């Protein structure tokens, strides 16, 4: 029977990297894996990147899974129609919570004959977790911090991601504090970059079926306020000119955005870019306080490239759009022209879930 693994967590927690590395491990075991990405708007860097990596991936855009339950089911069916799939790993929108009540329970109730739902995993950046445990907001708008807290409350498996940034003693101490704060969850540390803890997490989500054991009490007014605090930009562009190296251009772009957001006092959920220069590509991202840009891959010196930008930043959509356009112009000043194909900037609307269960569906119930 098909197994569905939901991996939630706030923006910048490292969900997409985990999806890709988990898919590679499972494929090495001979399992067929499909991935589902999710966003409030189309043209996702994550979808483009995973597709280029040769993974069977589909996208649910325009709404979160909870508000487009049928879209999630259609995406699962699309993956199954392409080929036989053993495992589907789905990544909800990073600003989404209440997944246990709105996704896990309905799936357990309505599709028990078609799939097995693995325990709900929630990833948390350890830097944000440490501040939350001290009663802070992890540098986020209070409404956004509320969403992150609710994500943790409903987790079956709570993962401290990016464990490679912690010293061993720090990791143990933080894990113990999280276990004390969330005694009903299985707490793990994991680094997708080094592989630490990945096999242990996979063993749990591939063998356990005790999904959705916790329902969070969610104030939808605060939830909506937290989502509305974020500007949401997705854009695709064509670049032409002599870049003297596209990697250098991407770094200028990200560093310019980091400085722009920092000077505006705007917290960054994440900024992701993918630049494809005719088959070779570079991926860059900013997370958290946007202090450093991370780049992977190389796009060479082609005179033409396609650029996809996804930005989730705590500022009004109009301000976010103006900031990105200004930095694009500055980064392209040395002989690079750019032309937009798609450009969408918005603030997410109020969450209106398709289903919302007020009880945990037991395995033997209908």
Handedness of CA 186, 192, 198, 201 (dihedral sign): positive
What is the arrangement of strands in the sheet containing 268-276, beginning at the earlier edge strand? 294-297, 281-287, 268-276, 304-313, 231-241, 336-346
Instruction: Tally Cβ neighbours within 10 Å of residue 121.
Output: 27
Contact 164, 109 (CB under 8 A): no
Helical (H) or strand (E) element with 219: none
Task: Express the helix, strand and coil content of the chain in percent, nearest 5 each.
Answer: 40, 25, 35
Question: CB-based contacts of 77: which residues, under 8 Å, 6+ apart?
Answer: none
pLDDT at 365: 43
Whether the CB-CB separation of 145 and 156 falls below 8 Å is answered with no
Expressed in angstroms, the distance from the first to the final Cα of the chain is 18
d(CA 6, CA 90): 5
Print burial letters for 70-82: b (CB count within 10 Å at least 16), e (below 16): ebbbebbeebbee
Q: Is the dihedral of CA 351, 148, 44, 190 positive or negative?
A: negative
Mean pLDDT by 10 residues, the chain (366 residues): 95 88 92 91 81 84 93 95 92 95 97 95 91 90 95 96 83 92 94 88 96 96 94 94 83 94 92 91 79 80 91 95 96 87 92 96 66
Count of beta carbons in the 10 Å neighbourhood of residue 17: 19
366 by Cβ neighbours in 10 Å (0-12 / 13-18 / 19+) ranks as exposed
Q: What is the C-alpha to C-alpha distance for residues 90 and 260, in angstroms, rounded to an integer? A: 32
Give the C-alpha distances (Å, rounded to integers) separating 114 from 111, 172, 328, 332. Answer: 5, 39, 47, 51
The pLDDT, as a whole number, for residue 243 is 65
Kind of pairing between the strands at 294-297 and 281-287: antiparallel
How far is the CA of 290 from the CAs of 215, 259, 285, in angstroms? 33, 8, 9
CB-side exposure of 10: number of CA atoms within 13 Å? 33
Q: Which of 125, 198, 212, 199 is nearest to 165 (CA)?
A: 125
- Are 65 and 92 within 8 A, CB to CB? yes
Whole-angstrom Cα distance, residue 61 to residue 42? 5
pTM attached to this predicted model: 0.92
Domains of the chain: 2-226 (3.40.50.300), 230-346 (3.30.70)
Please tell me the distance from the alpha carbon of residue 216 to that of residue 154, in angstroms, as a whole number.
Answer: 5
| DSSP count for the chain of H helices, then E strands | 12, 14
Asked if residue 134 lies in contact with residue 22, where contact means CB atoms within 8 angstroms, the answer is: no
pLDDT given for residue 290 in this prediction: 46
Confidence at residue 329, expressed as pLDDT on a 0 to 100 scale: 93
- Distance, in Å, from the CA atom of 349 to the CA atom of 352, rounded to the nearest integer, reads 9
Q: Determine the 3-state secondary structure of 52 from DSSP.
A: helix
**Strand 121-124 to 87-90 pairing:** unpaired
Q: What is the per-residue pLDDT for 366? A: 39
């Amino acid at each position: 029977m098909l197994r569905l693994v939901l991996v939630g967590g706030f923006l910048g927690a490292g969900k997409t990297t985990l999806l890709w590395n988990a898919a590679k491990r499972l494929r090495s075991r001979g399992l067929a894996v499909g991935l589902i990405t999710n966003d409030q708007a189309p043209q996702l860097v994550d979808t483009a990147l995973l597709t280029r990596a040769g993974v069977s991936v589909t996208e649910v855009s325009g709404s979160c899974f909870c508000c487009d339950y049928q879209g999630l089911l259609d995406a699962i069916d699309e993956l199954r129609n392409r080929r036989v799939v053993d495992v589907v790993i789905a990544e909800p929108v990073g600003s989404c919570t209440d997944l246990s009540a709105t996704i896990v329970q309905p799936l357990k109730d309505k599709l028990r004959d078609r799939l097995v739902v693995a325990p709900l995993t929630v990833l948390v950046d350890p830097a944000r977790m440490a501040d939350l445990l001290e009663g802070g907001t992890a540098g986020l708008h209070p409404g956004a911090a509320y969403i992150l807290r609710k994500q943790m409350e409903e987790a079956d498996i709570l993962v401290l991601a990016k464990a490679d940034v912690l010293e061993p003693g720090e990791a143990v101490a933080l894990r113990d504090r999280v276990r004390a704060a969330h005694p009903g969850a299985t707490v793990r540390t994991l680094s997708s970059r080094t592989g630490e803890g990945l096999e242990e997490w996979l063993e749990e989500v591939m063998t356990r079926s005790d999904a959705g054991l916790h329902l969070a009490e969610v104030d939808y007014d605060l939830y909506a306020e937290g989502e509305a605090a974020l500007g949401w930009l997705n854009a695709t562009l064509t670049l032409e000119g002599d870049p003297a190296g596209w990697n250098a251009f991407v770094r200028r772009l990200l560093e310019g955005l980091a400085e722009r957001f920092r000077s505006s006092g705007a917290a960054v959920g994440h900024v992701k870019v993918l630049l494809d220069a005719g088959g070779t590509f570079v991926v860059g991202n900013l997370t958290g306080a946007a202090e450093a840009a991370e780049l992977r891959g190389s796009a060479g010196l082609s005179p033409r490239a396609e650029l996809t930008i996804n930005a989730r930043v705590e500022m009004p959509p109009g301000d976010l759009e103006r900031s990105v356009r200004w930095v694009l112009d500055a980064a392209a000043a040395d002989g690079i022209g750019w032309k937009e194909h798609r450009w969408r900037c918005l603030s997410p609307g109020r969450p209106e879930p398709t289903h919302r269960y007020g009880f945990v569906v037991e395995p033997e119930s209908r």
